[in-house]
Amino acid sequence: MQIQFQPYEFKTRLNNGKKELWDAIRKKYVSITPEELVRQHLVQYLIHEQKISTGKIAIEKEIKLNGLKKRFDVLVYDENLKPFLLAECKAPQIKLTQAVMNQAANYNMQLQVKYLLITNGIEIHIAEIDFEKKSYQWLNKLPI
């Protein structure tokens, strides 16, 4: 489905000639890249439009996957603070292919969340995972 993020205002600064923006979740400035802008817009959407508390959102936390250190983009916790939704963000020019879904699904082997979201800031796809059947079903809206 198509998505239109609101034009959120971000606190920015110039650091050694590089533009950075303030990440309210990680509580630090991060380099502005196309993927980071998508990630930050998604987070703002979750906070402002979906009314998710900042305390229930994690960004770029490290997980181990087959002995390798990986970082997921965004993880949302439910009211019981159990991982609920895992989001994989890509730059706007990256197509949301099966490979992108596979990347999110691989991270989910460790996290075991019920919902996966992939976005490039233009499109957003949400899948509900059925662990027993080892399958997923595409949804038309966020399950929040």
Confidence at residue 79, expressed as pLDDT on a 0 to 100 scale: 93
The CATH architecture annotation of domain 12-139 reads Alpha-Beta Complex (3.90)
Chunked into runs of 10 residues, the chain (144 residues) has average pLDDT values of 82 96 96 96 94 96 87 95 96 96 90 95 94 91 84
pTM: 0.92
The answer to whether the Cα torsion of 103, 106, 107, 111 is positive or negative is positive
Confidence at residue 39, expressed as pLDDT on a 0 to 100 scale: 97
Strands (E), 1-144: 12-15, 18-23, 28-31, 57-59, 62-65, 68-71, 74-77, 83-89, 115-119, 124-130, 135-139
Sketch the domain layout of the chain as residue ranges.
12-139
Question: What is the tens place of the pLDDT at every residue in 91-101?
Answer: 999 999 999 99
Confidence at residue 118, expressed as pLDDT on a 0 to 100 scale: 97
Confidence at residue 44, expressed as pLDDT on a 0 to 100 scale: 95
Confidence at residue 141, expressed as pLDDT on a 0 to 100 scale: 87
Contact 104, 75 (CB under 8 A): no
pLDDT > 70 fraction of the chain, expressed in percent and rounded: 99
